[in-house]
Amino acid sequence: MFFPRRIAVSALVASLAMLAACSSDSSTEPLPTPVLGASGQATSTTVVKITFTSKAGDTGYNVERAEGTAGAFAQVGTVTAPATPGSVTFTDTGLKASTLYRYHIVTMKGSSVSSPSAEISVTTLAFGFAAAEINTDITANRTLYADTTYTLKGFIHVANGATLTVQPGTTVKGDFNTLGSCLMVLRGAKIQAVGTADAPIVFTSSRTAGSRQAGDWGGLIIVGNAPSARTGAVEIEGSGTDGTTVVGGKNYQVIYSGGTTATDNSGELKYVRVEFAGYAPSLNNELNAFTFAAVGSGTKVSYVNAVNGLDDSFEFFGGGFDFSYGVGFEGEDDQFDMSEGFQGRLQYIISYKSTNIPIRTGAGSYGTDMEGIENDGCIGSGCANGYDTTPYTQPLVANFTLIGAGSQTIHGPGGGFGMMLRRGVAGYYVNGVVARYPAGGISVRDVNTYARAGSVAIPDLATADFAVKNIYIAETPVAFQAASATQFVFDLAGNNIGYDGARTAASLFASIPATGSVPSGAFDFTPAAGSPIAAGGLATFTGKLAAKAGTAVTGTTYLGAAAPGGAKWWQGWTIYVRN
């Protein structure tokens, strides 16, 4: 009767013996050994290639990466071991330029893994480590890569419906030795230049830092197919010095008038900087840092920076599109210039002008009437009804910060106003700051312009095509240029316009230099503690202003381009340099 117990005990002993045997076998099986001879090489700004030699019996390898000297390792890929031992390659992509990365390899053998291999350190290549020239027009789709610095040798046109794509971090230089070298994106073509805050796209002079000047090259010009006010064959200012015959790389005539598609799409600019540009073959015939001619609403422009351009930082001829987060530093004429029926919407824009910086000989001359904003109606030939020609120049400009040099000599004998609104212009100008202009804050000229406001000092947003509302003006002798038969003054209180001529511009912001001082640190255009511009904004739009704004532009409780305590959106991708 004890027999079943004996069987159970025997089975238990046998099971324990088997477990012991398995345990003994497992403990004696060797772990895989780490790979030897692993190495790494950066092949571009964003790619690293890792190579090592496999061993017999290995089944695979985990590749682990860490950024910088102290970053933690994390797996970034797995490689299956080849059937025959030999060289193994792993390509790591999507990396940052000029950045140190550390790698190690973990060997797998079935379910067992080795300890990590010795570390491999690799630094990715810097932007623009290679070089190339562009000396003729771009007539088929092309991409400019961040690993290459490109030099424009001549007047380069993107034509024939081509799309030019520019990678984040790419540098394009205008050839100093070819006076006026520039990039023109023609009607029907597109540019897709979308950078990032960490890797902006930069168009600059071919000269070395420290010797660069305004006018070193021609700038960036975009031509669309949207309507403009002038009729006839109206050519891009600064074009045509080589005649009308189309020859790649030459400055042949480019026409922008006669557009018919308000929604035309010329592409997108984002995180793009244009430095030391501008070209004027004759007086009032200039290329600018950025020139937008008849550009339609399908185009997107945001986070753009003009630095020390010979003429305007940004000029708009007709057309109309949404433009946001724009910064103009030290333009040698106006910072924002709109005319000939421009219908666009601008929000969050900054201009800063402190002095006249030496310009390149032969490229042009300083502007004689420098303003922060200079907006005109229809001017020049082809304005059928003079200043009353339609479409009116009728932009919406919201949340602007305009800072002048505080010197009539610097701004020229005809300039020195924060805002010059004239020649039948219309539009809505709200939630702005104007400071440090020697002639005055705002000049409203011509009966045609005043008529757009209803010919009254307090325009009614329900009916008016022109209004100036919720603006603070400081460090200027007058808020408005004195009234006359052709100059008009809006009511300060009725339009919520604050004025303190004695208050300094520097006191309004967290950090900008005093008048005449050279900037020595980062700008901070957010309101200073207790600044009047931290409040007083028009938060709710009504009437025609609301219709114009749509959902693209919103009201704010503050004035100027930066919210109190908000993001310093210009930092990291803009730059202030004088040469």
Q: Which residues pair with 74 in a beta bridge?
A: 65
With contact defined as beta carbons under 8 Å apart, do 222 and 295 qualify?
Answer: yes
CA pair distance 426, 449, nearest whole angstrom: 6
CA pair distance 181, 221, nearest whole angstrom: 11
Token output for 166: 């520019």
CA pair distance 199, 45, nearest whole angstrom: 11
Query: Region 529-538: what's the mean pLDDT?
Result: 98
Q: Give the tens place of pLDDT for each residue, 238-253.
A: 999 999 999 999 999 9
Q: Give the tens place of pLDDT for each residue, 464-518.
A: 999 999 999 999 999 999 999 999 999 999 999 999 999 999 999 999 999 988 8
Is 8 a residue whose pLDDT tops 90?
no
Query: Region 418-439: what's the mean pLDDT?
Result: 98
Is 317 a residue whose pLDDT tops 70?
yes
With contact defined as beta carbons under 8 Å apart, do 117 and 90 qualify?
Answer: no
Nearest to 391 by CA among 231, 546, 255, 264: 231
Q: What percent of the chain has a predicted confidence (pLDDT) above 70? A: 95
Nearest to 172 by CA among 212, 210, 138, 132: 132
What is the residue-averaged pLDDT of the chain? 94
User: How far from 34 is each of 63, 78, 115, CA to CA, in Å?
Assistant: 12, 15, 6
- What is the total residue count of the chain? 579
Token output for 454: 């209803």
Is 11 a residue whose pLDDT tops 90?
no
Q: Give the tens place of pLDDT for each residue, 377-404.
A: 999 999 999 999 999 999 999 999 999 9
pLDDT at 29: 63
CA pair distance 396, 544, nearest whole angstrom: 11
Q: Give the tens place of pLDDT for each residue, 15-54.
A: 444 444 444 444 456 789 999 899 999 999 999 999 999 9
Of residues 150 and 517, which shows the higher confidence score?
A: 150
pLDDT at 518: 83
The phi and psi torsions of 258 (rounded to 5 degrees) equal: 85, 10
With contact defined as beta carbons under 8 Å apart, do 306 and 290 qualify?
Answer: yes
H or E segment to which residue 452 belongs: helix 447-452
Query: Region 82-102: what's the mean pLDDT?
Result: 96
Give the pLDDT band (50/70/90) at residue 14: very low
Q: Give the tens place of pLDDT for each residue, 257-288.
A: 999 999 999 999 999 999 999 999 887 888 99
Is 108 a residue whose pLDDT tops 70?
yes
Domains and CATH numbers, the chain: 39-123 (2.60.40.10), 130-549 (2.160.20)
Query: Region 66-72: what's the mean pLDDT?
Result: 97
pLDDT at 519: 85
Query: Region 284-311: what's the mean pLDDT?
Result: 96
Question: Strands, E, within 200-342: which ranges?
Answer: 201-205, 219-223, 267-275, 279-282, 285-287, 290-293, 300-307, 314-317, 322-329, 336-339
Is 349 a residue whose pLDDT tops 50?
yes
